[in-house]
Amino acid sequence: MDALRLKGVGYAYSDGTKALDRVDLTIGSGERVSLVGPNGAGKSTLLHILDSLYIPTEGELEVAGIQVNKKTAPQATMRAGLLFQDPDDQIFMPRVWDDVAFGPINMQLDEQEVRRRVDRSLALAGVSEYAERVPHHLSFGEKKRVAIAGLLAMDPEIYLLDEPTANLDPASRRALVNVLRSLDKSIVLATHDLTVAFELTTRVIVLKRTVLYDGDFRGLMARPDILAEANLELPSIPRLMAEWKARSGLDFEVPTTMDEALDLLDREFDRRG
Ligand SMILES: Nc1ncnc2c1ncn2[C@@H]1O[C@H](COP(=O)(O)OP(=O)(O)O)[C@@H](O)[C@H]1O
Ligand SMILES: [Mg+2]
């Protein structure tokens, strides 16, 4: 069964703003995809829809096999978990530990299991030392990691992540990528950070009110028109290698990761002796 299926999905806010139009998308169970696009593209709106918090004003949505409408939305919401773009929309308990425990308690897990999940999730998100702190007093990046811990503690079937690495320091970002990579779940990752997207997913969806591109990164790199239309910039490694290719006249497939780039450079240096 697919995790998410959208057919002709549109969404208009009550003031008439049409945030999404004719979105067709299928995301398999256990599949990881990146969702990219300029500010105002509808990424956050789409994630709210995928969490059944907003009901599409047009088209059809299926979440884990559930056809979403007003009646089934609460049931569908349980299958997915949304990391909000702004952690202040997510965190509301006066103590970090209790905030992370809120979801598991709500899932009616027993006390021991709640404690196990909370402590483990705090550790995975690298925020164990804040367990007793007041969330409101933490920095944005710290709050974001607390919110991530809250999601990990619930461990939904479908993770919906709205710019999870924004404002994280490089080490925290790396740690989060490793945690996400270890999850055996469906993940939709909205991000402006193509480096993170490259590391975590091969499929990328470019959104600008509708789907502009749905495919792998290699295909996207070959579409400068779409990159420009979506205000995207390639990460430094593929950008450097693409520039080198253009200047040198050499013929090679542009590498996307550091390892691929190093292999290519080694081969080229060997060839030249
Ligand atoms: N509550 C709202 N009422 C009216 N328009 C909204 C509301 N929230 C978002 N929008 C508009 O919907 C569009 C998509 O916004 P959003 O989904 O937040 O984009 P993104 O996350 O890609 O930056 C934008 O034009 C935004 O101004
Ligand atoms: Mg957004």
Ordered domains of the chain (ranges, CATH): 1-79+156-232 (3.40.50.300), 93-155 (no CATH), 234-273 (no CATH)
Whether the Cβ atoms of residue 32 and residue 228 lie closer than 8 Å to each other: no
CA 42–ligand 1 middle distance (angstroms) = 6
3-state class (DSSP) for residue 163? coil
CB of 90 closer than 6 A to ligand 1? no
- Other beta carbons within 10 angstroms of residue 174's beta carbon come to 14
pLDDT in tens, the chain (273 residues): 899 999 999 999 999 999 999 999 999 999 999 999 999 999 999 999 999 999 999 999 999 999 999 999 999 999 999 999 999 999 999 999 999 999 999 999 999 999 999 999 999 999 999 999 999 999 999 999 999 999 999 999 999 999 999 989 999 999 999 999 999 999 999 999 888 898 899 999 999 999 999 999 889 988 989 999 999 988 899 899 989 999 999 999 888 888 889 999 999 999 988
Whether the Cβ atoms of residue 207 and residue 42 lie closer than 8 Å to each other: yes
Quote the CA–CA distance of 41 and 129 in Å, as a whole number.
36
Whether the Cβ atoms of residue 185 and residue 30 lie closer than 8 Å to each other: yes
Helix (H) / strand (E) element for 35: namely strand 32-36
Number of H helices, E strands in the chain: 11, 10
pLDDT tens digits, 217-239: 889 988 989 999 999 988 899 89
CA 221–ligand 1 middle distance (angstroms) = 27
pTM, two decimals, is 0.93
Average pLDDT in the chain: 95
CA 104–ligand 2 middle distance (angstroms) = 26
In testing the pocket of ligand 1, which one of 15, 17, 18, 35 has its CB within 8 Å of the most ligand atoms?
Answer: 17
CA 86–ligand 2 middle distance (angstroms) = 9
Whether the Cβ atoms of residue 52 and residue 82 lie closer than 8 Å to each other: no
Quote the CA–CA distance of 110 and 99 in Å, as a whole number.
17
β-strand 158-162 against 80-83: which pairing, if any? parallel
Please give the C-alpha separations between residue 165 and each of 74, 98, 168, 230, 240, in angstroms, as whole numbers.
28, 23, 5, 19, 23
CB of 44 closer than 6 A to ligand 1? yes
Residue 47 phi/psi, 5° resolution?
-65, -35
CB of 13 closer than 6 A to ligand 1? yes
* CA-nearest residue, atom 25 of ligand 1: 40
pLDDT tens digits, 115-159: 999 999 999 999 999 999 999 999 999 999 999 999 999 999 999
Quote the CA–CA distance of 156 and 217 in Å, as a whole number.
27
CB of 126 closer than 6 A to ligand 1? no
